[in-house]
Structure 1
Amino acid sequence: MESAIPAHLEIQRTRHKHVSDDYRPPYPSFVARYKPGVNRVVMGYFGVQYRGTSPAAAAEALAEIARLFAGEGGPSHWDRARYVDEAGYVNIVSVAYWDDIPRFDAWFMPAREVWTGKTRQDIGTFIEVLRPTVARHETLFSSLGRPEGVAVIAEGMSGEVQEHAYWGGMRDRIPLSQTDPISPGCDPELVRDGARMRVKAQDNLCLIRSGQDWSDTEASERKLYLDDVEPVLREGMDFLRDGGLAIGCYANRYMQVLSADGSASEKSYGQSWWKSLAALERWAESHPTHVKIFGAAMKYLSTLGPSAKLRLYHEVTVAAADEQFFEYLNCHPKTGMLAAVETIAA
């Protein structure tokens, strides 16, 4: 049994874990392990937004960002997903990951100008980037063999870890939590840069990407997931999308992962921005929508036991103020972190 926190990031705790040292979780889970020399990663969300039928400009923009990803300095891994937001706009988001900051910086400066530096007819574009130290980040996987998201760029996966299957495990897996309460800073602010809208977010903003992969499931398990679990998950995701601000969720996207040809895959994930890790924890532990999700998932897993083929994962980051970049061009005012802003700075 390993600690989720890698040995080179373990320090003397001043804030105690939520379980005792002899705790043994009821089922196995695993975390991504980066090379010890990697001290920072980049998570870049590059979005296209439009209403109705996909305009030609959307296809051109998606091809353009793919070319940029494939060029010099591009990411080690990227994927693409789609969802329809609360205002009825289609959003297609290409999510890219780097573990080399100088390479990203050299790539990003010209790429940013291509992406949000020019207005395209009938579409909006946005960039949401975090570049956290690995001490501000954690992952969790229900099985080995198929990493997703930022874990694809890791060196490998851990053995079975201790810090999971209890409330508080998410915080306990973040190395910074050993000594830091990770409290949120001041509220976000909006800054205009010509036609571009940039959000200056607060310290310790929280991001979660939490995914499901049912591509390996067979008929009976697939039906159980799609009929009994997914509708409850969707209900919770829709609540966060439409009413999350009241509980500290700035924005939520329930995304369908797209295959290389643009068709829908049998993978999905929720991706949301939170005022704080504590706000995310409160929703997970006690809000009726997540209690229902948790109950449906536990019933599913207890029914199938070790034979379950459904794969689950998440990645959670608590980013410092200087590790964030949010920029929007021609997007509606509830897009991403724009929903968090109440004042406009000229």
Structure 2
Amino acid sequence: MGVFELQYDRVVPARRPEGHQPAAPRYSLRWSQPHLSLVSVYFGMQSKQMGREAESEFFARIRGFLAAADGPQVHELMRSCDEAAYDNAIVVAYWTDPTVYSRWLLASGFREWFESRAAAADGAGYWFEPVLVPYDRHETIYSAPSYRIGFARTEDAVIVPITTNGFFGAARDRLPLSAVDALESPARGVMVAPAARSSCGGHWMAAVPHNATILRSGQFWEGAGQEQLEDYLEQLQPKLMRGMQHLVANRGETGCLSLRIMTNVNEDGSPRAETSVYATFLSLDQLERWAASHETHLDIYRHAIAMNRQHKEKREVVTWHELFVVQLGNVFEYINCHPATGILPYVRAMRVELPL
């Protein structure tokens, strides 16, 4: 079976060192059919103390909309406690055709329901973060070929081995567009001061900056044996959490506009042995600098490499990510959310007054 891939004659130098051979096998996502644009949409509800009943009702509501005609190929349920200690119920859905997604958005009823939340008196906040990217602005990597998650669960998805891994700058090299575009941030990595809002009641629209980088990075340890499970929970996971804390505590340096640590949940709301970090950065360059030079990421990197070398193909903890460098035009929406929600404090945002 053939695979679809876009490639350009390179005019921007690659980051791969000459003669580099990766120390461990890695894999990436392709499709057997052309998909020129990809859509990843996050639906969220937040409240200070969200009970399981409210969470389940939100999941059921969103899944009902997703079940309408032209709904996504796959979706996942997650929960997260954000930096303001608000509970968030999250559904992420994936489409590989923006026309199909657009039809769903027009006809499913979600849009009308979401906008009606501005006048709701349920004490909850709601957010909607749709990510639409051309194919050449995405890249993926998986530590194992057998586990499917995110876009890898969509129809026609194919996992293929790669050798563009194991060096700093590899993620950029895996982005097809990086061959012809330096993917520079127009803001030149300068974060704006957070907006001094005491509340974000009502409906707000926030523009995602051009060439911002959106990353979902995951960990899956279901079925891991005792030795590797203990290593992950006691050694690697704490290093991951320290790294995430550094990113949000040093936004001016890291360009971290938003970061959520999410736990996947089953249909009954029970947690899965799976987490992922969903984060937005002002620029790919700032994410790369942290990855290549800061001790918090080097601790993660060294430990993961050591475990991969020790266990090789018998590594039982799967790690992966999907990364998007977005064009100008992506807009995130927030209704009755607290003022530190998502990217809202750090980008241009406008309050929306919808006609009655």
TM-score (norm 2): 0.88
Name the CA distance, whole Å, in 1 between partners of 2:52 and 2:8. Answer: 52
Alignment pair present for 1:212 and 2:212: no
Q: Which runs of 5+ in 1 are unaligned?
A: 1-5
Deviation, 1:7, is: 6.7
Name the CA distance, whole Å, in 1 between partners of 2:343 and 2:243. Answer: 20
Stretch deviating more after TM superposition (25-34 or 165-174): 25-34
Instruction: Report if aligned partners of 1:249, 1:275 keep a CA contact under 8 Å in 2.
Output: yes
TM-align CA RMSD: 2.5
Q: Which runs of 5+ in 2 are unaligned?
A: none
Q: How does 1:53-72 map to 2 (within 5 A)?
A: 53-54=50-51, 57-72=54-69
Deviation, 1:57, is: 4.7
Cα separation, partners in 2 of 1:161 and 1:172, compared to 1, 3 Å: same
Q: Secondary structure at the match of 1:182?
A: coil
Q: How does 1:159-170 map to 2 (within 5 A)?
A: 159-170=160-171
Name the CA distance, whole Å, in 1 between partners of 2:309 and 2:294. Answer: 22
Stretch deviating more after TM superposition (30-39 or 313-322): 30-39
1:13 to 4, 10, 13: 10
Name the CA distance, whole Å, in 2 between partners of 1:7 and 1:120. Answer: 48
Name the CA distance, whole Å, in 1 between partners of 2:47 and 2:331. Answer: 22
Instruction: Report if aligned partners of 1:57, 1:122 keep a CA contact under 8 Å in 2.
Output: no
Name the CA distance, whole Å, in 1 between partners of 2:171 and 2:214. Answer: 12
Alignment match, 2:113: 114
Alignment match, 1:3: none
Name the CA distance, whole Å, in 2 between partners of 1:129 and 1:245. Answer: 25
Q: How does 1:94-243 map to 2 (within 5 A)?
A: 94-109=91-106, 110-118=109-117, 119-153=120-154, 155-186=156-187, 195-243=202-250
Q: Give the counterpart letter for 1:83 in structure 2.
A: S
Q: Secondary structure at the match of 1:160?
A: strand
Instruction: Report if aligned partners of 2:203, 2:351 keep a CA contact under 8 Å in 1.
Output: no
Deviation, 1:133, is: 0.7
Alignment pair present for 1:86 and 2:83: yes
Name the CA distance, whole Å, in 2 between partners of 1:287 and 1:23. Answer: 22
Query: How many residues are paired up?
Result: 339
Alignment match, 1:50: 47
Instruction: Report if aligned partners of 1:116, 1:126 keep a CA contact under 8 Å in 2.
Output: no
Name the CA distance, whole Å, in 2 between partners of 1:120 and 1:34. Answer: 44
Name the CA distance, whole Å, in 2 between partners of 1:256 and 1:126. Answer: 18
Instruction: Report if aligned partners of 1:57, 1:121 keep a CA contact under 8 Å in 2.
Output: no
2:316 to 309, 322, 344: 309
Name the CA distance, whole Å, in 1 between partners of 2:332 and 2:146. Answer: 33
Name the CA distance, whole Å, in 1 between partners of 2:87 and 2:335. Answer: 15
Alignment match, 2:36: 39
Q: Secondary structure at the match of 1:330?
A: strand
Alignment match, 2:281: 274
Q: Secondary structure at the match of 1:163?
A: coil
Cα separation, partners in 2 of 1:37 and 1:342, compared to 1, 3 Å: closer
Name the CA distance, whole Å, in 1 between partners of 2:99 and 2:128. Answer: 19
Name the CA distance, whole Å, in 1 between partners of 2:319 and 2:121. Answer: 37
Cα separation, partners in 2 of 1:300 and 1:100, compared to 1, 3 Å: same
Sequence identity of aligned pairs in percent?
28
Q: Secondary structure at the match of 2:337?
A: coil
Instruction: Report if aligned partners of 2:46, 2:125 keep a CA contact under 8 Å in 1.
Output: yes
Name the CA distance, whole Å, in 1 between partners of 2:32 and 2:116. Answer: 35
Deviation, 1:92, is: 1.5
Alignment pair present for 1:24 and 2:32: no
TM-score (norm 1): 0.90
Q: Give the counterpart letter for 1:96 in structure 2.
A: A
Deviation, 1:23, is: 3.0
Instruction: Report if aligned partners of 1:127, 1:325 keep a CA contact under 8 Å in 2.
Output: no
Name the CA distance, whole Å, in 1 between partners of 2:69 and 2:121. Answer: 24
- The CA deviation string for residues 137-186 of structure 1, in whole angstroms up to 9 with x for no partner, is 00001111222112211523343212111001000000000000011235
